[in-house]
Every structure is written in structure tokens, then in C-alpha cells.
Structure 1
Amino acid sequence: MRNYSSPALFKKLARKLARKNKRKTLLLISIVSGSIGGIGLLVDQDGFAQQQIQIATSNIGKNSGTPFSGKDPITFQADNVSYDSKTGEVTWQGDVHIWQNDHILRADKVVYNRTTNIATANGNVSMVEPDGEILFTQHVQLGENMREGVMDQVYALLADNGKLAANGARRTGGKVHDFSRSVYTACPICEKDPKKAPFWQLRSYQAIRDMENQRIDFSDTFIDFFGIPVFYMPFFSIVDPSVKRQSGFLIPSINFSGKYMGAYTTIPYYWAMNKWSDLTFNPLFATKTGPQLSAIYRARFNQGMLRVEGGIADDTINHRRRQRELGDYSTHSKDNGAQGYLFLKTEWALNQNWRYGANLNLATSSFYMQDYRINGYGQDTLNSDLYLEGFGEGAYSKVTLQGYQGINHYTVNSSDLPFVLPRYTYNYFGQPDALGGRFSFNTTNFVLYRSNGVSDQRGQASLNWDRPFDTDIGQKWLVTLHVDSNIYNASHLYEQPLYLNDKRGRQFSGQALPTLAVKMNWPFLREFKLGDTTGTQVIEPIVQLIAAPHSKGGRNWNMPNEDSLAYEFSDTTLFALNRFQGTDRLDGGARANVGVHGNWAWDGRQVDFLVGQSYLEHVTKNLPENSGVNRHMSDVVGRLRLSPSQYFSTTGRMRVSPYDGKVTYGEGIFNVGFNHFGINGGYIYEPITPYYYYWGNPFSAQGPSNLFDQKTSELTLGASTDWKNWHASAFGRRSLSRKENVAIGGTAGYRNDCFSMDVIYLKQYTMINGEQNTDTVLFMLTFKTLGTFGING
């Protein structure tokens, strides 16, 4: 590049370029210390400037621009260029574009004085910053290589649709914009009437945008809705909308808990430690108990992640008085004073096939979690585990160490809960073999210890081979060879959860159950016409024969039971080889399962049903009452799904005794939906309450608790509606058998592009962890780019 030091030569060169090029001229100028030091003809491309603007504006929210520098060259493009040697002014006119690195200035006219080092831009001025901010004004004066400046009637377009307008603005050091008499909003501006006030705006005497610290500070601020002031703040600060993570105080919350904490507030502080980790401090101050300090640390690495949450508190609530009110006279010396909790979750990849991780969840007491509303306080247990797992082609392997802490003081005692040291699971599903079948293998083995109750070790394996084939007349056959086997070494079988009174020594036992099953589906398919609509109909008889030794319901008085406490006979398990949930109890014996499946589908509508029954060679006497398979001919199970239109759908399930016609189980759900309105509901019925089967000793002379014989009859109804930006919903859940409500609640709110408001109410009538008839109200306001303000109690 040839250098020119004389202004006269620059003027001659500019005129020569303008004569040779009737289109826009692109020049590169190195401006150092206020003088023009070098000029060179570079390119002649009209689209180059526009391309630079597109690149710069695409940086919104990325903060990846290069800072101002007096050494970097400034490039310009304009329709006309002139130079006055007497005044030392360079004038660009007609669609002027000037940029230095990621900083871009566009105007109708720009005058640069090399003596004062001041550039004045007029007419449709826009300035694009490296982070994507765009400033619009009609007049601006810039100095110090665009680091200093003054603007009139300025409008700023920020990231995430944030907009800021002001009577004037001052740029300082290229890092701070000081806006006077400003308004800020993230709401859309009315295109028909731009002067119309947006949905909400911050109207401030002064707004300072610190681009280095990435914050916007507002002074003497009103929050306006539709131009009407509703709230005043002497000072308000937010993170710049272009920033995804920024250290600083988060929005405080005000809450009410009349039973325990009274009125309390949290003032969280967020610390963006680096690009891959952050830390949030959350101090809590309450009127009825001591303060709490909690924190959350999060980190994400190339091969893993780590999340640690914990807190310490001075719990001053009188738990013993609460226990007396609830009729609990036990002593808990650790429920007051210094309390704390720790939740840890981490996971790391060893390679593409193996990973390991841990989940650690501990608390000093269940009362503490309830008092301070620690996440998970309504659950029965806190679960912890350490695991290693691998994934292969058709295979999965996992080894786990597990532990549990009871946090529902009135239901679960920690001493009754097990430690699993360890638990190993392996699953394999093979490819089709030479006979056309597929082999699969599953094993789950564990060592389980209870300080109060059964302790045992189990080895388990399941082998399965499936061979499907079709016939020429449309039958679909499936032949299954299956073997389940377990081996146990157990002690304290006379304690919970088995209560086997005569088994006080260590017991070594096992079981094996080979099974042969043949299943035939015979679908009959036809098309039909309903007016102008064509549909399909399927009628599918299903027959399954199962041959296996009689297992007597899996009852072996030398074997523990850890995973088969529930037995389910319904349409979903009609053709299952084992209707127990696990493998400690096996569903053996010769039996035949029959059923009919039907489906009609037309024009988006559908009717689907399944009805079936089991015929058993051996009657199992050891299953819970109302299991549905206590006789040679089982209860009839059925399912019906209806969706006759796009506005209505329902699914019902039922189990009926063929001997007396009594319904032994029933449930149903429905959904009715129209434009802007919907109703949904559900019902469940059972002549017993199965949850209470293992409440106490179900194998004693008295049998299960009398609570087990109480009927379950419960109805749930809900409705929801929405209209434009408004929405509302409500639900109720009532026990018809007990003639009392279980829970009621509802929500109502408003939502648009920049604002949302929600009110949530929930009343719980049942007792959970000692709480009964609790009411919860949550009120939330969310302002786009500002955050969420919440009040709950």
C-alpha cells in the first residue's frame, strides 16, 4: 500500500476515485492522534458495508466485539467524499457507513475534523455496538475515535427486544452510555401509533448503561402500565439484556407461612464465577424462626457436571408442642437449634460407553425440612446413590450403592429403610438367530441391609427367547421360552416387612420357574364407508397358553420379598408372564388367557376396546383379596377408549367378577375441549384401599389393618379456559367413600410477549408429614428482561 502524507494529495486522490467510480467508494483510513496518516483504494463492492452491519447485529447477546482502539484502521463507504484543506474537514455524504472492527456508524452525512478529532453525524444516524445494541438518533458528535460522544433524541435497540429511548445520551470511554429522561421496555411498540404507551415501561430520570460491567442502572424510576404509573423505585438495577450470566443480586421474594416461619424474605445473590460455573447465595430471614443461609453451586465440564445445594439454619420452632398437638409423644432432641441439608448431584463420562455419578441427599431432620420448605419436604424419603453404568449394542449394565433417609416422620422411620450395598443390573437383547428368534438376558442382584428388619442377599437371572412367525391365513404367533431363577440368603425374616414369626435364623433358599408360552393374535381387517368418509375396522381375537409349575403365588416362607409387594391384574397385564411387579414372587401355574381387541378408526375418530379373562389350573390362595385371580375363572378385565370427535375423548378400565357381577376395580378419565374452554376429570373405584395392605403385619392372625377394607371411591374434576391473553383453571379432588375433600386448587393469569401474571391457590385436606388443611397461595409477576417477582404464603 502506498502512503500519502499531504492533505492535497488526499483530496486529489479522492476526486480521482470519484471520477473513476460512479458507484459508492470504499476507502480505508488509519486515524492516529487525530491526523490522516494513510490512504489506499481497497474494493468497490456495494454489498460489503451491508454485510458488515449484518455481522455486527448478529452479535446481539454474544458480547464478542473488539473494544475501541486508536490504532485499528477505520473503513468507510459513501456516495460522495470531499476534503477541505483549509478547515481540515473530511465530509462523507449519501448513505455513509463507517466501521472500526465491530463498531459501525451509519448516517446521511458525516463530517470529520482532523484538527479537533471530532466527527459529527447527521440524518438517520445509527450506531451498531459489538454486543448488537443499535443506537438511533438524528444528530451525534463523536470524539476520541468514537469513544466519546453526545446524542440528541436517542433510541436504543437492545438484545431480547429490549428498547430504551431518551431525550439525550452521553457516551464515555466507549463503555458507558448515560441516558437522560429515559424510558425502557421489552414490550412491542404499536405500529399504527408508535407514540402509544407500551404495556409496561420503566420511566426514569436517568439510566446508565455500563457496557463493561454489563448492567443498566435506573434512578428515580416509575413502573408504568399503559402509561399510568403504579409503582415507584428510587433506584433499580438490572443485568444488561445482552447478558446471559452476570454476577449481582437477584430479585428478592416476600413470603408468608403463618404456621412456622411467619413472614420471611429471601435476598439471593448470583456469582458468575467463570464460563462453566456459578454460585448462588440465598439468605433467608423470618419473623418466627432463625435465619438460614443456603447456596447452590453449579459447574459443567467437558466430561461431566456438578451441582451442590446446601444450607444451614437456626431452627427455633417448638417441635415438641407441635408433636403434642398431633398426638405424637416421641422425643426428638435434634429437631431444634443448628440444622442443615446437603443435596449433591454429579455425573462424569469415562468414555462413550461408560459413565459414573452420584446423588447425595441428606438433612438433619424432617421437621427442619418442613419448617423451611426445603425442596422435597413432602416426600417420604430422601434417596442417595453412587453408580457406574455402561451402554453397549443391545446391552446395559449398572452397579449402584443406595441409601435412604425417612423424612415423613409420621409414616416412615429411617431405621426401617434399607441400605443397598450394592445393586447390580445387566440387560442384554440379542440379534435374530438362525432359528428366527431373539434371546434376552436380565439379572438384578443386590446385598440389602436393614438395622430394623429383614436383611438379605439376592442373586437373580431371567432368560428369555421369543420366536414370532406368521401364517398364510393372517395369524401372528409368538412362542416364548422363559426361565426365572433367584437365590437368597436372608436373616430376620420375622421382622418387617415380612413378619414371618417362625423364621428367626438365617435362611438360605431359592426358586426357579421355567415357562413355555404360546400366543396367537388373529386380526381381521376391513374397510368401511360412513357417508363420504372411509374408515378401517379391526377385530382381533387373542389366545395365550402358558405352561409353568405351580408357584402358589410365589409364597416361599424362606424367601424375602423386596420388589413384588404389589400384584396387578388388569388389561395391561392380561397377557403378562408375571403379574407381580418384580421377580421375588413369580406368577406360575398353567393358565389360558383369552381376549378380543377391536378398533374402528375414521376421519380422525377412534373407538378401541379390549376385553379378556384368565382361566387358571391352580387357584392361588396367597394373593391379596380382590386380586381378581382368586378362583379358577378370573375376573373379566376390559378397556374402552372413545374419541368420537376432536372435542371429546375418554378412557375407561374395569374389572368385574363373573360370579356375582360385582365391580372389583374401575377407573376412567375424560377430556372435553373446545376453543378457549376445556373440562377434564377422572374417577377411581376399588372395594379396598390397597395402600394399607402392608400397614402393620398383614400375615398376623388378625390379617391386614382394617384400613385395608375401606372402600376407595374418588372423583377428580377440572376445568380450564383461555381467552386472548387470559387463562384460568380450577380442580377439585374428593373422596366419595370418606365424604371429604382431598384437595382443591386453581390458577388465573395473564400473559403476553413481555409480561405474565399468575395467581396459584392450593388447599390440601389430607395429612402430609404432620400437616393437614394447609393452604398455599403463590402470586408471580414476570417482566421480560427484568425477572420474576413472587409472593407466596
Structure 2
Amino acid sequence: MNIGAPGKPSDPVTYLADHEQYEKTGLVTWSGNVQVWQGDHALRADKITYDRNTGVMAASGHVAVVDPDGTATYADYLELSNGMHDGIGTAIYMRMEDNAKIAANGMRRTEGKVNDLSHVIYTACQICETNRLLPPFWQIRAYNGTHDVEHHRIEFEHGWLDMLGIPVIYFPVFSMTDPTVKRQSGFLIPGISPHDRYLGTYITIPYFWAIDQQQDLTAQLLVASRTGPQLSGQYRNALNFGNINFTGAIAYDTHGESRYTNTFGNDVGSAGNHGIQGYVRGSAQFAIDDHWRAGLNLNLASSANYMRDYRITGYGNEFLNSTAYLEGFGVGSYTKLDTSFFQGLNQGTIRDSDLPFVLPRLTYDFQGRPDALGGTFSAHTTDFNVYRPTGARDQRGELQMNWDRPFHNKLGQQWLLTLRLDSTLYHGSHLYQQPLFYESSRSHTTGQVLPTIALKLNWPFLRTFAKGHGSQILEPIVQAIYAPNTGYSERDNMPNEDSLGYEFTDSTLFSLNRYLGTDRLDGGLRGNVGIHSNWIWNGHVVDLLVGESLQEHITRNMPAYSGLDHHVSDPVGRIRISPSRFVDLTARGRYNPWKNRMDYGEGLISTGTELFHVNGGYVYEPVTPYYYYARSTPPDVYYKPISELSAGISSRWHEYHVSVFGRRALKRKEFVSLGGDLGYNNDCFGLDIFVIKQYTSIGGQQRNTTVLFNFTFKTIGTFGING
């Protein structure tokens, strides 16, 4: 019971009562609807006897004490003194924050700081309104309990955790913060896991240190039966001008791995993946003024095997990325200066020496206001210096300028005129190494300037039907683009950092440049045509886009299966069908009429209600493009098609929920991921059982199936068991 600031015995007593009776001995008896105030405390009862000589109040019948913070204590009988800060009582019931409740046979209150309770019960669950004798969903039942009001802690001795009235766990001593506390130093709930492939049986013992109102530190010791211990910590600081959040650990990993053969058939060692290991991960961001801020994102680990062994977040990724940045925001402008470092995790597919250092990169964007001619000017630049221990090293300076002028006519035609100028200057060395593999071993200074003019027409035709409850849009789209032919970039020894991927889909059909970046540019004369149609009626939606590109010039070094290896491109399209709010289907793809096959396709479906919901997806591509630039000639794995199916099923019924998900590579006949969740949640308790199968192989091995049990008790915390 939190009684707030201590009062004084000499504080005046104010009261309201239906009846009162005075005795010569100084004893006053109030009866009826009695209300008494002394200091900041209020007392209500059917009958109160007050001794004016000693300051002792004896209350009986529907007794209630309300403290300054609103906490209420109810009792059959309560005897208080010393400004209502000392006392004893029977049949005690306390209502606290977050619906927490304490019931006890008896209580002794000392100096307004400590409440000693006998035969105590604590719960944060709702009590059944129809049968209040039914036990709550969970409760802590103890022989003795102590509520330390000054330090906001509740302790139980010789207690049981009851679930639905059944004793489940016995604990000789249990201590927790009371619900009024949001942050307080102390040990958190430990974790116990009976079995893990690499850790064995292990326990975690966390300790939380609330340093002050703005910063805290959580330290955790992990002790395992199959490997050495680990000490980790998380530091958080919420500053007035920013925030800091960092997590790190150090461990002694006893698992040493042998050599293995990677994806490319190479023999890979595994030195440095055991012994003293560690990681650090976190972020920091600071506001310099109203327009500028600086930040840091750090992700480093001693080895991928260590992350696998100790269940470190990020295991399974190809690499870790660390960045430091400075960015500014202006009216219509944005500036960012950053540097990046990459650490490869899966040495089976990529080596650390192949990964770049970005030292540094400058990005600037400007968007102007409409000018006197009705057009809008914009500018963009991304300049960088890329260094690889093994691979191409290059520097780039870039300036891209755009002028867009929209207009329309009386026929409802919407026109967009775009004038664009791309200019880039490079200096590169080691271009004969990955990812370019050019023939020249010399350093080269080169560049490109490409002016582009484009005119786009959208001509939407709209009609309504179904008595005004539906509409249809039929929108032809035509675009003409002209730019000089860009030539053969390999012959010009031009570096390539941001355009290794090429996407020709419905989303890039009308893009001025269909490469992902600007190191490679689309040149020549070409036209893009498409038809967009949209139907909406009575909650039904059908949206369709189909189109293709006609080009005078065919780029010689276009990646395979690009869809642009003829003067008339492969047609691309997208369709979305939503017959009701319970079903949504989206599909997109690219068809190759020259070889009578689909060279790209994907689909998503979502259907069902909260009671039963299904979602699924499929993606197909005839190659695995990630490996195209891994060697001077694509390895065999590049020619393996991507044909992946993903699906998920979920259901929620009252307090219960269940979900299952999976992703499978059909051509490779193997799962990529698999898992599920089964859970129950009510007003005071949560149980989730997660099952996850990891198929990522790092260091020649992969983790087994992981089973995680999470128990959440309201006002107490979450307790987890890994298996």
C-alpha cells in the first residue's frame, strides 16, 4: 500500500458522520456513513472510534483507506495511529495499479513504510463476477508477505504460484517491484532452457540497473553446460538531444569447427571461430541543431559461428553493416554524409576481403518550387569512394538534374515533359577483379554525360455504372524517351557499384532509367506503351496494367533474362483482384514470347477472417542473380532457377491464436524457413510457444529446430524457456 508523504500525529482530524457520541475520557464514536481525513489520507467505515488522547482510530465495517496516490485498502477491521501511518488490520484487500490486487488475513503497518501481511494472495487477474469464490487465472499464494512502500517492492515467503487454483511452482522467497514502479534496479526473471544443440542446458541471470531517470544498464550472465559462459549488457540513454542504445557481449566459445566446402566448391577454413568471442550492436543519434543530426549504427561480431552458438540476433544474414552519418534537412533539400563498413558472416558465399568499405558517401537532393514556366527543377547527387581489399576500387562524382513540366488539355489528356541531364566522373583501379572482371589492370579515369528528354501521356476515360455505386477507368499510357546511346561500359572501363541489378517489370516500365542506380544508364530512342484499367463496384476491385517497351538500340552487356534483348521487349503486367474485403490477390510477371516461357513472375494472396486467415506467395526467376558477379564467369549455382513458395496460416479465437508459416525452394527441393506459434492471452497472462527451424548453413553447419516457451504474467514480467 503506497501511502505517499508521511503525515503528522498532530495533523487536525476532519470528519463527516451520521451520528457521533462523545465520552468524558476523550473517546469519540462516529457511526453511519463515516468519512475521516487526516493529512492527505482519507478513511471511510461504518463505525470509527477515535481516542483524542492517543490519536488511535479503530474502524470496523466496510473499512476503506484512500492514500494520496489513489491506492485503496479495504478491511473488516483496521486500527490506525500516528497520522494513519501505523496500524493493524484483518481481512485486508488492496487494489493497486494495473488491476493488481493483494488479499491477506492480517496486516501490520509500520511508519507508513512497510506493510507486513500474513497468509497473503497476489494477482493481477480479473475476479469472476458471477462466482467470486473461483480462484483467479493465476495467483501468488504465500505464508507471509511484505510490501515495502518506501522502496516499492513486494516480497513473499514460502509461496506457491497457482494456475486455475492448482499449485504449480513452489518458491521459498520471491521478490518483485510493485505495479507503481516502471523502472527500478534489481534482478529480473531468470531464464532456464533444458536443451540446445550448442549451449546444452543453460540459464540466464539478468540484472537491471536504473542509473537515473534517463539511462539504464541491463547485464546478463549466461551459463551453459556445453560451452563457456557469456556476459552481455545493454546500455540505454534517452538524452534531451538524442538517444543511445548499445548491446554487447563477451564469451568463451569452446566449439571449434572443421573445414568445409562452400557453395562454389572451395575449401573454406574456420579459424578464429572459437575461444574468446564477442559482439557489439547498437545505435546512437544526436541532434546538432534544428537542421542537422549525426548518428551511428554499429554491428560487429567476432565470427558467425559464435553468433550461431549463442543465439545472437543477426545470425543467418549474409553480412553485418555498420554506418556513421551526418544528415541535414532544409526547405526542399536533404544532405547526408555517411561511411559504411561490411562484415561478411557466411564465408561460404562471400569473403570479408570481397566486401567494400564506403569511405565516405555524400548524398544531396533538392526539390524546387514551380517556376514561371510551370515546371519544377530538382537535383540529385551521390558521390562516394569505395575500397575493397580484394576487388575493384573506385571514386565517383555525380550530378543529376531534372526539370518536369506537367500540363493537360481539354480532352482530359495529362502530359508530362521531362528534361534530364546525368553526368558522372569516375576514377577506378583493380577493375580486373570482382565484381567487374575487366581485362585492364591499369587505373582509369572516365565518365559519362547523358541528356534525356521524355514526354509521357496519360489519357484516362472514366465512367460510372451500377446505379452510381461503381466506376471504371480505362487509361492508355504512352511515353517517348530519347537519349544518346550509352555505348559499351566494359570497353570504357567504367566502374559499376549501384547498377549490378536490372529490373524490367511493371514498376519500371515508365522509368527513365531501369537500372537500380546511375552507374549504368538507359540510352537510345525508345517508346513505352501500356494500358491501365481499374474497376470498383460494391466493394469489388480489379486493377490491371499491361505494357511493353519498343527500343531502337539494344544494349550489348544487358544481363541475361532482362526482357530487353529484342527491339520489342517482353510484355510485363500486373493485376490485383479483390472481390471482397476478405480476399486480395496480386500477381505480376514478364513473359518471353521468343522462347514461350515466363522469365519472371510473382504472386501474393491474402484471404480469410480473423478466425481463419491464409496468405501465400510465389516468386520465379530462371536464374539466381546474386551469383552473377561472384566470379568472372557465372558459377553453376547462378543457373539454378529461383522458384520459391511461401505460405502462412493463422487463426484467432477469443484468447487463443495459432499460426504456421513456411518457405520452400521448389527447384532445390529444400525448405528455406519453417515455423509456427501457438498462444493464449487473457487480461493477466500470456503463453506463446514458438517453433522455428533454421535452414541457413554457416560454417558448414546449421541450427536444429528451436522451441521457445514464453510465459507472461501481468505486473511481474516474462519468463522464457528455450528448447
Give matches, 1:677-696, under 5 Å: 677-696=612-631
Whether the 8 Å CA contact 2:380–2:399 is kept in 1: the answer is yes
Count of aligned pairs between the two proteins: 722
Q: Using CA pairs below 8 Å that are at least 6 residues apart, which structure has the higher relative contact order?
A: 2
Whether 1:316 and 2:316 are equivalent positions in the alignment is: no
- Residue type of the partner of 1:563? D
- 1:327–1:634 CA distance, 2 compared to 1 (3 A): closer
Whether the 8 Å CA contact 1:424–1:445 is kept in 2: the answer is yes
For the residue of structure 2 that corresponds to 1:508, the secondary structure is strand
Distance 1:75 1:513 in 2: 89
For the residue of structure 1 that corresponds to 2:705, the secondary structure is strand
For the residue of structure 2 that corresponds to 1:369, the secondary structure is helix
How big is each residue's C-alpha offset from its partner over 1:427-448, in whole Å with a ceiling of 9 and x where there is no partner? 1111111111111111111122
Which of 664, 671, 674 aligns to 1:744? It is 674
Distance 1:314 1:507 in 2: 48
Give matches, 1:498-647, under 5 Å: 498-501=436-439, 503-529=440-466, 534-552=469-487, 555=490, 557-647=492-582
Distance 1:594 1:322 in 2: 51
Whether the 8 Å CA contact 1:553–1:588 is kept in 2: the answer is no
Q: Which residue number corresponds to residue 655 of structure 2?
A: 725
- Residue type of the partner of 2:708? L
- Residue type of the partner of 1:152? T
Q: Which residue number corresponds to residue 493 of structure 1?
A: 431
Whether the 8 Å CA contact 1:176–1:209 is kept in 2: the answer is yes
Q: Which residue number corresponds to residue 714 of structure 1?
A: 644
Give matches, 1:168-183, under 5 Å: 168-183=106-121
How big is each residue's C-alpha offset from its partner over 1:710-766, in whole Å with a ceiling of 9 and x where there is no partner? 222222222112222111111232222123333322211111111111111122335
Give matches, 1:640-659, under 5 Å: 640-659=575-594
Give matches, 1:83-102, under 5 Å: 84=22, 86-100=24-38, 102=40
Which of 260, 283, 288 aligns to 2:198? It is 260
The runs of 5 or more residues in structure 1 that have no matched partner are: 1-59, 698-702
Whether the 8 Å CA contact 2:259–2:268 is kept in 1: the answer is no
For the residue of structure 1 that corresponds to 2:516, the secondary structure is coil
- Residue type of the partner of 1:518? L
Distance 1:236 1:197 in 2: 21
Whether the 8 Å CA contact 2:8–2:39 is kept in 1: the answer is no
Which one is further off, 650-659 or 272-281?
A: 650-659
Distance 2:164 2:271 in 1: 57
Distance 2:349 2:373 in 1: 53
Q: Which residue number corresponds to residue 208 of structure 2?
A: 270
Distance 2:313 2:687 in 1: 24
Which of 377, 388, 391 aligns to 1:439? It is 377
Q: How far is 1:674 from its partner?
A: 3.2
- 1:320–1:675 CA distance, 2 compared to 1 (3 A): closer
Distance 1:717 1:377 in 2: 23
Which one is further off, 310-319 or 130-139?
A: 130-139
Whether 1:408 and 2:346 are equivalent positions in the alignment is: yes
How big is each residue's C-alpha offset from its partner over 1:275-320, in whole Å with a ceiling of 9 and x where there is no partner? 1111111001011111111111111111111122221111221233
- Residue type of the partner of 1:375? T
- 1:736–1:773 CA distance, 2 compared to 1 (3 A): farther
For the residue of structure 2 that corresponds to 1:319, the secondary structure is coil
Which of 224, 239, 243 aligns to 2:181? It is 243
Q: Which residue number corresponds to residue 368 of structure 2?
A: 430
- Residue type of the partner of 1:474? G
Q: How far is 1:633 from its partner?
A: 0.3
Q: How far is 1:579 from its partner?
A: 0.9
- 1:497–1:102 CA distance, 2 compared to 1 (3 A): farther
Q: Which residue number corresponds to residue 720 of structure 2?
A: 790
Q: Which residue number corresponds to residue 24 of structure 1?
A: none
Q: How far is 1:72 from its partner?
A: 7.6
- Residue type of the partner of 2:695? Y
Whether the 8 Å CA contact 1:91–1:109 is kept in 2: the answer is yes
Identity %: 50
Which one is further off, 208-217 or 654-663?
A: 654-663
Distance 1:553 1:604 in 2: 51
- 1:693–1:466 CA distance, 2 compared to 1 (3 A): same
- 1:407–1:133 CA distance, 2 compared to 1 (3 A): same
Whether 1:478 and 2:416 are equivalent positions in the alignment is: yes
Whether the 8 Å CA contact 2:426–2:446 is kept in 1: the answer is yes
Whether the 8 Å CA contact 1:554–1:586 is kept in 2: the answer is no
Distance 1:365 1:585 in 2: 35
Q: How far is 1:380 from its partner?
A: 2.1
How big is each residue's C-alpha offset from its partner over 1:651-696, in whole Å with a ceiling of 9 and x where there is no partner? 0011112334321111111112035111111111222222221232
Whether 1:104 and 2:34 are equivalent positions in the alignment is: no
Give matches, 1:359-438, under 5 Å: 359-438=297-376
Q: Which residue number corresponds to residue 19 of structure 1?
A: none
Give matches, 1:22-101, under 5 Å: 66-70=4-8, 73-74=11-12, 76-80=14-18, 82=20, 84=22, 86-100=24-38
- Residue type of the partner of 2:697? M
For the residue of structure 1 that corresponds to 2:308, the secondary structure is helix
Whether the 8 Å CA contact 2:260–2:267 is kept in 1: the answer is no
Whether the 8 Å CA contact 2:335–2:365 is kept in 1: the answer is yes
Distance 1:609 1:139 in 2: 75
Q: How far is 1:255 from its partner?
A: 2.5
- 1:746–1:227 CA distance, 2 compared to 1 (3 A): same
- Residue type of the partner of 1:338? I
Distance 1:304 1:675 in 2: 40
Q: How far is 1:515 from its partner?
A: 0.7
- Residue type of the partner of 1:509? T
Distance 1:714 1:773 in 2: 22
For the residue of structure 1 that corresponds to 2:353, the secondary structure is helix
Distance 1:328 1:106 in 2: 82
Whether the 8 Å CA contact 2:434–2:629 is kept in 1: the answer is no
Distance 1:567 1:111 in 2: 88
Distance 2:454 2:25 in 1: 101
Distance 1:545 1:329 in 2: 52
Distance 1:616 1:427 in 2: 30
Which one is further off, 457-466 or 444-453?
A: 444-453
For the residue of structure 2 that corresponds to 1:468, the secondary structure is strand
Q: How far is 1:257 from its partner?
A: 5.6
Q: Which residue number corresponds to residue 12 of structure 1?
A: none
Which one is further off, 97-106 or 714-723?
A: 97-106
Which one is further off, 177-186 or 268-277?
A: 177-186
Distance 1:108 1:85 in 2: 19
Whether the 8 Å CA contact 1:553–1:623 is kept in 2: the answer is no
Whether the 8 Å CA contact 2:347–2:698 is kept in 1: the answer is no
Q: How far is 1:769 from its partner?
A: 5.2
- 1:233–1:517 CA distance, 2 compared to 1 (3 A): same
* TM-score normalised over the length of structure 2: 0.96
Distance 1:328 1:102 in 2: 78
Whether the 8 Å CA contact 1:128–1:135 is kept in 2: the answer is yes
Distance 2:644 2:261 in 1: 30
How big is each residue's C-alpha offset from its partner over 1:214-240, in whole Å with a ceiling of 9 and x where there is no partner? 111111112222212222222211111
Q: Which residue number corresponds to residue 670 of structure 1?
A: 605
Q: Which residue number corresponds to residue 780 of structure 1?
A: 710
- 1:641–1:332 CA distance, 2 compared to 1 (3 A): closer
Distance 1:370 1:556 in 2: 44
Whether the 8 Å CA contact 2:261–2:348 is kept in 1: the answer is no
Distance 1:556 1:440 in 2: 32
The runs of 5 or more residues in structure 2 that have no matched partner are: none
